[in-house]
Amino acid sequence: MAIYHLSIKPISRSSGRSAVASIAYRAGIEITDERLGKTYDYTKRSGILWTGLATPHGLNIDRNELWNRAEKTETRSNSRTAREIVINIPHELMQGDQSAGKMLAYEFATSLSQKYGIAVDVAVHAPDKQGDNRNYHAHLLLTTRQITQEQDGIFEFGKKSQLEMSNTQLKQAGLLSNQNELKEIRREWAELANEYLAEQGIDTRIDHRSHKDRGLETLPTVKMGWKATELERQGIRTEVGDQNRAIKAYNAQIGLKNGLKEQVKAEKLAKNEFRTPTTDHNTLKNAPRNAVEPQKIKNGMNHPPPKNTLKTQIMAFYDDYKKSEQELLATQPILDEYLAKCNERAKKLHAVETKQANNRQSSAWKTYETLNNNKPLLQDLRPKFMGKSQWELDKEQAYNEFWQAKQAFLDLYKQEPKKRHKQQAKEQIEQEYPELCKQASKHWLGLHKHEWQTKQYIEKIKLQVDEVAKGNTTYFGEIIAITELGILQETKQGVVYHNPKDVELNQNQVGKVLALEYPKVMFADKQLVEVKTQSQHEKQQSQLDKDLTKDKGRGFGD
């Protein structure tokens, strides 16, 4: 089955990378960085299946010159000199002579080159020997500037490409934001890959959309990487492997549940068709209105659903939410125990390293003191033109070593454990308590599932209400439901959804008629929605009407 993957990352000097070094490694070539005077030789690297260069209007450009010019054009120390896109090529297209997959990568690179006016260097790679043997992929290195051809045939770098513009610049130019442009690139890759799959008579397809956007209840698996894949092949369980096994088990349950739902639905439909006579289009068309409306309601044609249906639905969602929350609370002690062991071990590792650093500092100081207290007898008579003596050089080196050891000690002393200590602690705890780690990982997965499902519930409710509450508006009507997922209110305009973080209500207020006044500006950390009873709201409206009447009776200048 083809797997979708497309990622974009910058090649920046601030991270110690260069476009010249990157293309040398990706394409497996020898190239000299003229700016740094450094040569990179990766000609012996294996696994590179094909390379190519896509340019605007088919310009003939030398790869060596292209990337050296790209480096020289950018003068800042933190300049971004290239941008890299990594794509997974469907392994079904890499069978036989692999021409279909290679052509797919090059056509995608060409489309990017023409669209943005840039050069795109392509390198198609075979799967890592230790990794998934289906992981054929391509690295696309994009220039950050547009390319133009001068009259003498020499190319020049022009202005920054659309991909390097800020959102403010994009908005002024009437272009998509960076995030939306990335979505377009992801969509274009999926469509092009699917065209190639169809041309080759392959039924499988890839989809650029997230599980959420596709309306799937299932969870996406985590990318394994070649190291974890190799360990799993050897029968060694990994954390990411356990996560994926748990995700697959959950997805299987979802599939089983959906299958049962479809079966029940089909059985009900079959019973209804047997018992209830079908109403055809002409019958509905010729029937009086009072006869048509009940039939439409019966067939589920009334939108949006009535308030009772929404109330029932949000309460059903809330029941699932609380059940999931209770399950997480039951397994929380396992996670707490795991985290406590990791934190305790990290502190011990930190303490051991701090002690070792202190010992190195003390030893270095003793070495320096010994040299300093054993000055040669004729040292003061040594002419300066002869330079530093061996004693002076040794003393200087000893002092530098002491200073380095002291800095290393101070970096640890009275500080929290470093990231390396936490990682070492985690690895040690996983080896010593495999079952605990497995259960803790399962809890984390359940927590992510709970958070994701909660968002899904809220989005489904928002889609079905008439309005989602907004700032600078007053909503008046009966409160029909109050849950942690949301508050529903029946108003003259229809059912309104309120975020419970914005409005402070309790269960006793369900069924009461209230006015919820939203200010012009909402703050995420404050509940600024003012709650008023029906009598308070009517009194306020009456006063506003009186004030308005007075204002109408006044003349200009009163």
- C-alpha 199/C-alpha 65 separation (Å) is 37
Is the model's pLDDT at 36 over the cut of 70? Answer: yes
Q: What is the pTM of this model?
A: 0.44
Higher pLDDT, 175 or 208: 175
Determine the pLDDT at residue 219.
65
Topology classification of domain 465-553: OB fold (Dihydrolipoamide Acetyltransferase, E2P) (2.40.50)
Q: In this predicted structure, what is the pLDDT of residue 477? A: 92
pLDDT score of 356: 93
In the three-class reduction of DSSP (H, G, I as helix; E, B as strand; rest coil), residue 142 is classed as strand
Question: What pLDDT digit, counting tens, does each position of 497-511 carry?
Answer: 999 888 888 888 889
What would the pLDDT profile of 163-173 be if each residue is shown by its tens digit?
999 999 999 98
Assess whether pLDDT exceeds 70 at residue 227.
no
pLDDT for 289 beyond 60: no
The helix or strand, by DSSP H or E, that contains position 65, with its residue range, turns out to be helix 63-73
CB count in 10 Å sphere of residue 386: 7
Instruction: Give me the pLDDT at residue 493, please.
Output: 84
Q: Which CATH architecture has domain 6-199?
A: 2-Layer Sandwich (3.30)
- In the prediction, which pLDDT does 28 show? 94
Bridge-based pairing state of the strands 120-125 and 145-149: unpaired
CB neighbour list of residue 143: distance below 8 Å, 6 or more residues apart: 66, 70, 82, 118, 119, 120, 157, 161
pLDDT at 119: 94
pLDDT, greater one: 470 or 380: 470
Across 216-220, 300-304, 500-504, the highest mean pLDDT is recorded for 500-504
For residue 478, what are the β-bridge partners? Answer: 490, 513
Fold match between 6-199 and 465-553?
A: no
Strands (E), 76-210: 80-88, 120-125, 137-143, 145-149, 155-160
Q: SS3 letters for 195-256?
A: HHHHHCCCCCCCCCCCCCCCCCCCCCCCCCCHHHHHHHHCCCCCHHHHHHHHHHHHHHHHHH
- Name the residue ranges covered by the structural domains of the chain: 6-199, 465-553
